[in-house]
Structures are given as C-alpha cells and as structure tokens.
Structure 1
Amino acid sequence: MMSLNYAFGFSILLLALVLLNIYFFYTLNTVDRKSPKFNIPSLKLDVTSSIVGDIYEYLNYLPSQYRNKNPKFAVIKKNLITSFNNTKNVNPTSVWLETTSWSNNNSLFPHENGAAGKILQMLQTSHIAFVDNAPKGTQLKLLFLIEGNQKVYFKPKRYDLSHTIQGSIYAGYDRHNSEVFAYYMAMILNFKWIPPSVIRKVHMDKDVLPVATNGLKSTILKKNDGVSCIYGKCFFCKANETVCPENNGELEGAAILYLDKQLKVYKSPWRRKVKATLSRKRLLNLINVAIFDFLIQNGDRHRYEVYGDQIILLDNGKGLGNPSVDELDILAPLYQCCSQSQLGDI
C-alpha cells in the first residue's frame, strides 16, 4: 500500500493552499492592506493575466492565523489513518457487496469504520482471475478481474517518481502515482466522489500471462532478452511504446476500483471558454474540482463525469508532472466566478 507518511506528509501544505485560495476570494474586496506581510515563495510565472497578479498581491495581506496549522485537522488525520490501516478480518464477498451496493448522497464508496483500508487491501492483494486490455481512453491500462468478481483498472508505471515532465501540463504518459495520490488527497479534502486507488505490483510471468486474454496477448511483444512487454490497446497506444517489467519481473502500477455505474459525460465548459448556463451547484462543484486539480497539477480534465448530481473525480493520471511549475490557469473556474462580467453573481 502506498506509504501513508508519503501521502499525509504533503497534506498539510496542500490543505493550506486550498484555504489560501478560498480566503483570497472571500476577502477580495474587504482586505485590510495594513495587515502584516505574508511571505509567499518566489515563483517563476508568466503572468499574462491581471487576475493572476491579483492572486499573489492579495496573498500578502492574509491575516496571520492562515499561516498556522488548523488544530481540527489532527483529528481528521487520525481518523483517516485509522480507517486506512484497518485491514483485519477482510472478507472479499462482504467488502465488495458493501462497496457495490453503497448508496449515499455524500460519498461514492464507503469510507468509515475501516471500509477504506479493506477496499485498498483487496485491490492490492486479491488473486487475479484474468487480465485484458482496457481499450477505453487515450492511455494504456489493463482490466483485472479479481477475487470476488470485482473489476479493477490497472494503470502501469511509466516514470520513476523523481522524473520531471517537460512541456505542456498534459504532456507525457499518465503517472500511476498521481492516481493514488489523488485518492488520498481527496479523502483529506473530504471529496468523497473518487474511486479508491492503491499501488500494486504484479508479476508478468506469474500473474499476467497465465490469465491473459487472447486480445491482450496480441498486444504483447517479446524482446530479444525474452522479456514480455505490453503496448496495449488505446487511442495513443503504439507497438513501439511498450511497458516492460522490472528486472524482478514485476510491473508496478495503480490499481483503481472499476466504477460500474451509469455516468453522464460532459465537456468541461473551461475546455475553451464558458458557453453554457450552469446551475449554481454544478458551478461550485466545478470550482472545487478546479482547486483539486490545481493541487495535483492536473490540467487535462477536458471533460467530466457525473453520477446523480455529483462530479466524479476520474482519470487523475496527468498530475504530479513538474513540481517547479504552478499552472494557475487550472484555477480558471475559481477566479472567473468572481468576475461578474464573465458569469454574473452566483
């Protein structure tokens, strides 16, 4: 399982960034410019918008209490860690029965009373019955059927954790660790509309090839050294861009719980510019998603999926590309909503 220390080590900083953005817009027109200076880090930015400049200007006038940790978060953190670590007496049948039959207006999956930890353990350790290509989408991913007749997406590792993606924010392959980090951070931020995801390692010769479908085998190439590599089936999948196991024969990747629900798909109104009239709830929901995407630096949410009346945080693999760049245009829904000339009073 992904190290909880790794996930929660970043949580304090990320949560603080959310508070800064929210408070900035709340106090935009009432801020006291005589307040003490807030020393923000020096960032290399191409400030092409007055809105972007205003964000950094007003950060200097935040009251001092916003520089301190919120003591209430300690309790939330403790409860989350307890839930993630609760992996005792896991019964596959009961875990998936509760997960698939879960019906709640506040969350997509059960997350209290240790349910999160049990789901993650099942995703990480359950026996794999068969493996196939998951052709839907633009990136290589596999479809597992695991113990308990549960479907799981497996997005293989493409980069080491220290690798920096150069170019546009949507450049490169998906990052498997971004999927997992997004799940943990969503739980911290109380965004309960995201599929559970965890780091898993599978052995190519022992776990994949013996149960691979003919369709998957047709997209597997054997290298000169005898190593079997997968190029898969997807919009951008190519035979010369394969994923190969490590020297120990294992493939690392993100195991993501398959969401077997009817979803409505919409183009993001910020894909080009705002054209449609959105409800107040949907607009605020999109603003929350924009803040979330900014924190993981995911600029590739060109569409969004809705279940019921909630936006689902699917496909978070384009995050964690370059830690040296803040892509402020991801926050367009947030700062445009405060411009009455753009959207009016919400």
Structure 2
Amino acid sequence: MLIIFSVITLYTLIWTTNEFERQEQLRDAPLPPGAVPFWSALDHQNIYDLYAPSASKEPKQSSNITRQRIEELFQLIRNARTDQTHSVSIKKLYPIDPGWNFQKLIDERVAREKEDENKKDSDAHDEANDSNTNSTKTTPINSLPDLTTIEKTVNEYDKIQLRHYIHQLLHKWKKEHENDKIVTIADLMHDEILQEEPSRLNTSWYACMTKATNLRVYDPHSMELKRLLNHLQNGEVIEASEMSQGTQIKIILDLPDGFEALFKPYRVPRNYQTLPDHFYFSDVERHHAEIAAFHVDRILGFYRVPPVIGRLVDITRDIRETATEELAKTFFTSPANNTCFRGHCSYYCDTSHAVCGKPGNRLEGSVQVLLPRPPEIDWDKITHPYRRSYSAVRKAKWESDENYCYDHVFLDEEFHSRLLLDMMDLSAYDFLIGNMDRHHMMRIGSFGANTALIHLDNGRSFGRYDHDELTILAPIRQCCLFRYSTFARLHRVYRQGLSTLVTRSLENGEKLQKILIDEHVAALDRRLEILFDHLHVCIKTHTVKGVMVDDGID
C-alpha cells in the first residue's frame, strides 16, 4: 500500500508541474481571433502574421558623410568657383590633346557597332546552317563560340578628353546664351490671343502666364502665384473631363477666368507605403505626393513644377454634375452608398479601383494648373537616357554599364547644352522625393534651345520612406557633372534644415492636413546627405573643377 501511494503521489506531482509549465508557455501566446475583445482587436496583430518578422522602419541606406565634411566641401567648391572666374582661358582649365577629335571618336563607335551587327548576323547564319545538319559529331571545345561578351567602352584616355570637351562645350553654351532675353509664355501667345480672343489678355490666367518664363514656371514671390493657388483651391468647376493619356484616371477641371487644372483624386492614405514586391510602374499615383513635390521644388529653388495645391471637392456637385458625357457614364453608387466613378485609362479604371467619395460626396485631391498645350504652345518630349526598362525581367543598359554616360550620353550632341545639367538637377530632385517613374523629360519647345526642363508628373514619388533608391542618382554618379548654383541652393537648405522648411511650407496655405507623414519628411534630410556623399565621391575622383559647372544659370 505504501508503494502504491508513493507512485500515485509522484505521478500527481509530475503532472501538475508539466501543466504549470505548459500554462507558462502559453501565457504570452496570442489569443485566437474569436477570443480577442472587439476594442483590443483593433490593434491586434493579424493571426496569420503572428510569427512573421516585423517590418523594419530603418532605412536600408545611409550616408557616410558628416556635417563637417559637407561644410568643408562647400568651402572647397566656393573657393574653386572664385578661382575659376579669374581664369584666363577655359582651354587651359580643360585642355584637349591636339591629336584627339570628337568626330573621330563617334566614327570609331559607329564602326564598332556595324562590326557587332555583322558578327551577330554571321553568328545567326551559322546557327541556322548548324540546325540543318544531322551530324552527331561532338564540337571541339576550342571551336565553341565565346559566350562572354566584352563591352566595348570608351577608354580612360578618351574619357579624360571627352570630359574636357564637354566642359568646353558647356562654357561655349554659356557664352552664347548668357545675354538671352527672358521670354514668357504670355510673350509667345500675345499676338495670337490679340488677334483671336483679345479679352483673354485681361484675365488672371494671362497674368500668371507673364510669370512663366523659359527658365522657371512661376515666380515664388509674386502675387500672381498666391492668386493662382487660391483659384485652384476655391474656383468653381465649370466642366470636368478626362485626360486622355495616362495609366490612371486624371480629371481636367475648367475653372473661371481661363484656367484649366489637372485633378488627381485621393487613392491611398498618407501612411501608405509602396509594397516592396511591387514595381515602380505598377505603383499607384498619390495626390499628396504631387502636393509635396511642388513644395520641395519651391524650397529647392528650381521653380519648375507647375503650381499645385490640395482641394476638397464635392464629387457630385463639382465633378458629376459638370462631367462630360463620356465621364458621366462611369459614375455609380457603391454598396456603401458613396458616389464613385471609374473613368477610362490603361490600368486603374474599373469598378474595383473606382474613385469614391469618403464619405458620401467628399473627395480630396491635388489640383495643378495646366500650362498651354499644342497647338497653342509646342512641347519637346525627350526620352530620358536613364529611362527604366519597365519590364519585370529586363534591366536597362545603364543599370549594368557604369560607363553608360561616356558611351552614350556624352556622345549625344543633344546633351552638349544646358539639357545635360538640367538632367542632373532632375536626378537630384527625383532622388529627394523618391520618384523612379521618370521615363521622359518635358520642356516647352516654343522657347527655343535655352529653356529649362519642367518637372511634371510626380504622383509616384514619396512611395517609401524606409528605402532610398540610389539608382535614381545614376546620372550624377556616372557623369559626375553638377551645377554650382544647384549645389549652393542645396547647401543653403541643408543648413536651414530641408525637412523643417518643407514642413513649414506645407502648413502654409494648405487646407488638407498632414500632407507628408513624419517619416517621409525625415527621409528628405537623409537623402540630401546621401546626395552630398555622391558629389563628394565625384569630386575626389575628378576634382572640383572637373565636376562643378558654372553655366550662369541660377
């Protein structure tokens, strides 16, 4: 009996201990969905993601440059600019070997390309012949074609000569255009308007066009800009129609006094981040990104983004009741009793991606002034040499060839002008706002050759704040050319705090609240330091005079 009692006692003790341990292990385990109280469930982790690692909010890149080094870099660049202004001859600063010739370099490249084409045709012919033979013999290893392709690039000697040649051309461009008269859109259109519709000369629209020049789209200190933004934000909608091109729906609003504006509706909340597995070309356009991009452009002193502001519209009164017949057909009422429309476009124009009032008829969006279009004004649409492939499986040439700038961009005579440095400005701007979707560059061709790029279509910027896309800086990294004036402005806003300046700007005049969340604002400062770091590397490689260009453009 004693033995039996001892065994039962021992078993009970072991069972109780195991039960306590099991309860201890389950104490911190997540409750099943049905066991979570309603209010607690609002903050509860998804039951299927319990064991998934939490997403890191830390950026994947950061700069290696310090504030002190940035200040030293600024002093170095400023002193070099002063020395360069007292230089006797640009040809002494950037000497070219008498035996080197740009046209000869072009001819050699054309000859190599023809040789490569002939070789490809020959290889294709040989493969066709081989496929027609039924021989079972094994081909000797030493007769197999070489599967490694050697990229024929500009050699180091030609690189140096080519850089000096580009510097001389940019200096020549400066001399030819430094006394050019500033031309406005109003100047271009005055005679035609006077003849066909003289009443337009007395409109607020025409007054704004007197401030849009070949060098900038708006004057940041003018009363016309304040009136324009107020007009975009509060003007009565006369007609709403769809913009014909584009992958996502955009609405053209006809406003009083001759204005046309582009309305991009709310799509995602402010804290939405582009999913890591989504490509840039499938990303959704964000109205708050358009607004923030304009403010960043203004802070940086480019003034190349047509003015844009946030607006809260009544989707029924402002859009449905003023819609063209084609747009009106796409309106419907959702199961939640909200007014919606889907429009017509390449991708996000179906009922599952419809634009709806939230709630009821309220809809916020960005409203951007539309500049005159053909046939009133001619535009140049330039394919960006650093355009992405827009393919899920194929990369662009520049992504795998670090000599791409020497092999292609420097050899293209279209870039032997201010366009080259405008592209560098655009690269810096796009990197700061995180815009990967820059497939073309736009400028007003009616102004002639001396006209700045206009930074249009920034809706896919500010997609991620935890990642800095360094490939956007490829033009700067590979070409290593940059404007003195742009660097000076970037340094000034760095000292004042780019994030602070942008935050203040967004709080001034915007009715929509919290355009950028804090993480996106902080990313601006981080990316600016990364940009300085890239310029620092360029200068260590090519010296200040080899990188910085004073082309007389502020």
Counterpart among 329, 346, 349 of residue 218 in structure 1: 329
| Number of aligned positions between the proteins | 271
Q: How does 1:74-113 map to 2 (within 5 A)?
A: 94-102=203-211, 104-113=213-222
Counterpart among 257, 265, 274 of residue 165 in structure 1: 274
Report the structure, 1 or 2, having the larger helix content.
2
Counterpart among 236, 257, 263 of residue 369 in structure 2: 257
Deviation at 1:104, TM superposition (A): 2.8
Q: How does 1:279-298 map to 2 (within 5 A)?
A: 279-298=416-435
Q: Is the 8 A contact 1:139 1:235 kept in 2?
A: yes
For 2:70 and 2:323, how far apart are their aligned partners in 1? 58
For 1:255 and 1:93, how far apart are their aligned partners in 2? 23
Counterpart in the other structure of 1:244: 356
Counterpart in the other structure of 2:341: 230
SS of residue paired to 2:274: coil
Deviation at 1:150, TM superposition (A): 1.4
Partner AA of 1:160 in structure 2:
P
SS of residue paired to 1:259: coil
1:62 aligns with 2:66: no
For 1:190 and 1:209, how far apart are their aligned partners in 2? 38
Counterpart among 466, 473, 476 of residue 331 in structure 1: 473
Greater mean alpha carbon deviation, residues 92-101 or residues 331-340 = 92-101
For 2:70 and 2:264, how far apart are their aligned partners in 1? 43
Counterpart in the other structure of 1:270: 386
Report the structure, 1 or 2, having the larger strand content.
1
Deviation at 1:43, TM superposition (A): 3.8
% identical aligned pairs: 25
Cα distance, 1:185–1:318 mapped onto 2, change above 3 Å: same
Counterpart among 185, 191, 194 of residue 296 in structure 2: 185
TM-score, normalization: structure 2?
0.45
Counterpart in the other structure of 1:314: 456
For 1:63 and 1:262, how far apart are their aligned partners in 2? 41
Partner AA of 1:208 in structure 2:
I
Deviation at 1:230, TM superposition (A): 1.4
Partner AA of 1:298 in structure 2:
N
Cα distance, 1:63–1:96 mapped onto 2, change above 3 Å: closer
Q: Is the 8 A contact 2:435 2:462 kept in 1?
A: yes
Partner AA of 1:281 in structure 2:
R
Deviation at 1:61, TM superposition (A): 6.9
Partner AA of 1:315 in structure 2:
D
Where structure 2 has 5 or more consecutive residues not aligned to the other structure, the ranges are: 1-57, 75-200, 388-395, 399-403, 481-537, 550-554
1:128 aligns with 2:237: yes
Partner AA of 1:44 in structure 2:
K
Q: Deviations over 1:83-117 (max 9, x none)?
A: xxxxxxxxx96421211344533322343333222
For 2:462 and 2:202, how far apart are their aligned partners in 1? 35
For 1:287 and 1:244, how far apart are their aligned partners in 2? 39
Rg bigger for which structure? 2
Q: Is the 8 A contact 1:98 1:110 kept in 2?
A: no
Q: Deviations over 1:115-172 (max 9, x none)?
A: 2221110000001001111121122110100111311110001011111111344442
Counterpart in the other structure of 1:119: 228
Q: Deviations over 1:63-96 (max 9, x none)?
A: 55789xxxxxxxxxxxxxxxxxxxxxxxx96421
Counterpart among 285, 289, 300 of residue 174 in structure 1: 285
Deviation at 1:200, TM superposition (A): 0.6
C-alpha RMSD of matched pairs (Å): 2.8
Where structure 1 has 5 or more consecutive residues not aligned to the other structure, the ranges are: 1-41, 46-54, 68-91
Counterpart in the other structure of 2:60: 44
Q: Deviations over 1:277-297 (max 9, x none)?
A: 122421111010011011110
Q: Is the 8 A contact 1:169 1:297 kept in 2?
A: no
Q: Is the 8 A contact 2:240 2:322 kept in 1?
A: yes
Q: Deviations over 1:234-293 (max 9, x none)?
A: 222331310101115111100010121421101110113353412242111101001101
Q: Deviations over 1:21-63 (max 9, x none)?
A: xxxxxxxxxxxxxxxxxxxxx7424xxxxxxxxx944558715
Q: How does 1:10-29 map to 2 (within 5 A)?
A: none
Q: Is the 8 A contact 1:179 1:317 kept in 2?
A: yes
Cα distance, 1:157–1:66 mapped onto 2, change above 3 Å: farther
Q: Is the 8 A contact 2:261 2:370 kept in 1?
A: yes
Greater mean alpha carbon deviation, residues 205-214 or residues 118-127 = 205-214
Deviation at 1:207, TM superposition (A): 1.6
TM-score, normalization: structure 1?
0.71
